[in-house]
Amino acid sequence: MLTHGGDNAEAYFSFNGKYASFQSNNKAWNLKCDQIFNLDIEKAAKDSTYKPEMVSTGKGRTTCSYFLKDGKHILYASTHKGGDECPPTPEIKGKYLWAVYKSFDIYIADLKGNITKQLTTTEGYDAEATVSPKGDKIVFTSDRSGDLELWTMDIDGKNQKQITFGLGYDGGAFFSPDGKKLVFRASRPTEEADVKEYKELLAQGLVAPTAMELYTCNVDGSDLKQATHLGKANWAPFYHPGGKKIIFSSNHHSKKGYDFQLFMVNEDGTGLEQITNQSIFNAFPMFSPDGKKLIFSSNRNNVGTRDTNLFIANWED
């Protein structure tokens, strides 16, 4: 257990495996909504009182951080240029919704929290960025074309290019270990009522992430394939170090709906295997660069609270 209180999520290893960037809204750290932190994994594992360094500005809301290969910079998405306050959390009775705030842009900061570059300036949602294993490319999600699609860009923000085009929410993309492919989650509404609802919610800056499957494609968007056909919400995918399997979070097995466990599956959707069975929320798994560790978020060990904390475990194939 690496954190102790609040909601801590999207912890992703640095390229040397010693640190992890993550987001937290821990009230004990005087946070009103998610901000980005740099976690020293060894210190966090030994000391439950350890407080990691904040990398984001402390203003607005942030999400989706990721180390650059130099180990000296972290990219993340933030709404701080749209206002100092946390943007409101959406509420529509009877629906679980995510907000896709138009004020999200992607920034690079050094480890002291100084923003060194703004990578996106286009009007609309730009977030969910991750870095290729070679450290030269970034994949991210943007709604600048009118739908939530995957885009790629160079590490300096140049050559921004749309690579997915299907109606629905494409997001949470990660590169394969060789940097040639992507895995991501996507909703693909086809029924008239579902398409109508998706478009209406998106016009309000909202998505209902309750029906998503995993897809793979080449980095240029070619050879798009659906990897899962499980139903419900399958998301937070990450490639196994071998490059042929995908670990992810899913509630497809659950009768209640809100019971997310980690699963692993082959790229072609065969060989489904359940990895976790403890607690009712396990997500955001990522393998360490050497493949020996797995970091993830879980609400286990939260002593009856709603806290979600970060955990690290040894991985054995």
- Long-range residue pairs from 104-107, CB within 8 A, at least 24 positions apart, any chain: 104/63, 104/77, 104/78, 104/79, 105/77, 105/78, 105/81, 106/75, 106/76, 106/77, 106/138, 106/140, 106/157, 107/75, 107/76, 107/77, 107/78
Question: Is 2 domain-assigned?
Answer: no
**Rounded (to 5) percent helix, strand, coil in the chain:** 10, 40, 50
Q: Does the global pTM surpass 0.85?
A: yes
Q: What is the pLDDT of residue 93?
A: 73
Question: Is 95 domain-assigned?
Answer: yes
Question: Is 153 domain-assigned?
Answer: yes
Question: Is 1 domain-assigned?
Answer: no
Question: Is 13 domain-assigned?
Answer: yes
Instruction: State the average pLDDT over residues 56-62.
Output: 98
Question: Is 3 domain-assigned?
Answer: no
pLDDT digits (tens, 9 = 90+) for 219-237: 999 999 999 999 999 999 9
Domain that holds residue 51: 8-314
Helix count and strand count (H, E) for the chain: 2, 25
Which percentage of the chain shows pLDDT scores above 90?
A: 94
pLDDT digits (tens, 9 = 90+) for 110-129: 999 999 999 999 999 999 99
Above 80 in pLDDT, residue 185?
yes
Question: Is 82 domain-assigned?
Answer: yes
**Domains in the chain: how many in total?**
1
Q: What is the pLDDT of residue 58?
A: 97
Question: Is 137 domain-assigned?
Answer: yes
DSSP E strands, 89-125: 98-99, 105-110, 115-118
CATH of the domain at 290: 2.120.10.30
Instruction: State the average pLDDT over residues 164-188.
Output: 98
**297 band by pLDDT with thresholds 50, 70 and 90:** very high
Average pLDDT, the chain: 96
